Structure 1
Amino acid sequence: MTNQVLEVRGLVKRYGATTVLGGIDLTVAEHQVVTLIGSSGSGKSTLLRCVDLLEEIDDGRIFLDGTDVSDPRADAAAAQRRMAIVFQAFNLFPHLTALQNIALAPRVVHGVPAGEADERARELLRRVGLEGFAGAHPDRLSGGQQQRVAIARALAVRPRLLLLDEITSALDPELVGEVLQIVRELADGGMTILMATHEMGFARTVSDRVCFLDGGRVLEAGPPDQVLGKPVQERTRQFLARVIAAGRLG
């Protein structure tokens, strides 16, 4: 039996009278990469924030390893410690070095001894190709380097589930590849990932499943070759045609 790390059932999220997520069903199995695609405003970022319990949901349930973490009686902080999210903006602390940014959460949130946290941070900096930048502050790093530090910071807490929210959208085109390469290596290494991206070529090569969101619903889902190559829904075909015209299919 496949081990489902994440299961979302009937998730509804409203902002006032506006329904942003209109009943999302989604699963991510262990070691899977599931990719969310769709136009801006389709609900991808909101879904990721709901999964990470950064947003209260209006209906539905979110299970992490079979535990209903959306239950008001659940320990949300404990669930959040088992996940990590990387946003479009790098959100690094400007007064801390790269190494200090990565080591902070393991020390403060997870109670890892300082020496062990620093050693793990150095290992992760090597992993993302930034071993020579441990003492650099964010303003001394390029956008791509800052995003790689942000990914390393997420990995420092050894997450059960990694959430990636359009992590290349704020980068100059020449910096996108270096960040996507890190994600590709994580996927190849068996990391369980739920991500939103506009990089369709990358999604096609790295994903186990692709979900097309439209109007706050999963309109189409399946293997990447099917959803991106032979979509069933006309709305999916329209979206991909615009992506191709913009040169993002890869």
Structure 2
Amino acid sequence: MDEVAFVPVPTLPALTCSGLRKSFRGGLVLQDLDLDVAEHEVVVLIGASGSGKSTLLRCINLLEELDDGTILLDGEHITDPRINPDTVRRKIGMVFQSYNLFPHMTVLENITLAPERVHRRRRAEVEAEASTWLERVGLGDKAREYPDRLSGGQQQRVAIVRALVNSPRLLLLDEVTSALDPELVGEVLSMIKDLKTEGMTMILATHEMAFARQVADRVCFLDGGRILEQGPPEQVFGSPQHPRTRQFLRRIIEAGRL
């Protein structure tokens, strides 16, 4: 009997962005941007302010409506206008640079609000999951505290737990350390490194170049709403090919941030 050759079935990217265009007040912020993210991959977006990093993340999470282009999550067209955005956001966690915690709610209430009210999950189930996450990130004793009793680093870790409590398929992090005092940055970055080790698929926008170099599987340099260069961190940071990337990194080095 002839042997049948094994042909591996190609796996779909976890996320596919094709031809994304977005403008504000007539100015293009994303210009025909394409990006694939593989399962378990950590993609870090770098670039100057206004280059389109945050807008890209907001479009992926359907917080901004695209002018053109498509976004697929596990092959599903999530930018189809017939799709319920709340259903999509249950699969995508997003963490912002400002913590966006409700000051009149405890840590536990902040984490469980959306799963209970929006996604109609049972309170006991969500509270148990939230408590497990808080223990994992060293905040198990803070569940009944109010946000103003926490440090900035602790508040940001709570915000990340809030994004993780629905077991998202994809985690988006937008400059999550930019509002922190320097001594508090490390505890948040350590949490993100742990998530990478556990295989979480992530897209991060950051100005922390040293951290990007450590955690990224792939670095994408954005300029003018386009990805001008992308590759492994050792290539992008060590031997950038595009003149604009070299110029950007030279300024970062001169500022002592790499």
Smaller-chain TM-score bracket:
over 0.9
**Alignment partner for residue 196 of structure 2, among 187, 192, 206?**
187
Counterpart code for 2:76: T
User: After the TM superposition, which residues 27-38 of structure 1 pair with which residues of structure 2 at under 5 Å, given as runs?
Assistant: 27-38=36-47
**Aligned counterparts of 1:228 and 1:207: Cα–Cα separation in 2:** 11
Residue 193 of structure 2 aligns with an amino acid whose one-letter code is R
Label 1:158 to 1:53 Cα distance change in 2 as closer, same or farther (>3 A). same
User: CA contact under 8 A between 1:2 and 1:30: conserved in structure 2?
Assistant: no
Select which of 47, 56, 60 maps to 1:47: 56
Distance 1:246 1:98 in 2: 37
> Residue 96 of structure 1 aligns to a residue in which SS?
coil
Counterpart AA for 1:151: I
Instruction: Please show how residues 1-250 of structure 1 align to structure 2 within 5 Å.
Output: 1-249=10-258
Per the alignment, in what secondary structure is the counterpart of residue 50 of structure 1?
helix
**Equivalent pair of 2:22/2:68 in contact (CA under 8 Å):** yes
Structure 2 residue ranges without an equivalent (≥5): 1-9
Instruction: Choose 24-33 or 237-246, whichever is displaced more.
Output: 237-246
C-alpha distance in 1, partners of 2:16/2:242?
Answer: 24
TM-score of the superposition, structure 1-length normalised? 0.97
Q: Is the 8 A contact 1:90 1:147 kept in 2?
A: yes
Cα deviations across residues 203-228 of structure 1 (Å, max 9, x unaligned)?
A: 11111111000011100011111111
Identity, % of aligned pairs? 61
Query: Partner of 2:219: helix, strand, or coil?
Result: strand
Q: Report deviation, 1:111.
A: 2.1
Structure 1 stretches of 4+ with a deviation exceeding 4 A read none
- Measured on the aligned residues, the alpha-carbon RMSD in Å equals 1.0
Decide whether the 8 Å contact of 1:105 with 1:157 is kept in 2: no
Look up the SS of the partner of 2:204 in the other structure.
Answer: strand
Alpha-carbon distance in structure 2 between the residues aligned to 1:136 and 1:74: 37
**Matched pairs, number:** 249
SS in 2 for 1:201: helix
Equivalent position amino acid for 2:213 in 1 = R
| 8 A contact 1:32–1:191 mirrored in 2 | yes
Give structure 1 stretches of 5+ with no counterpart: none
C-alpha deviation, 1:244, in angstroms: 1.3
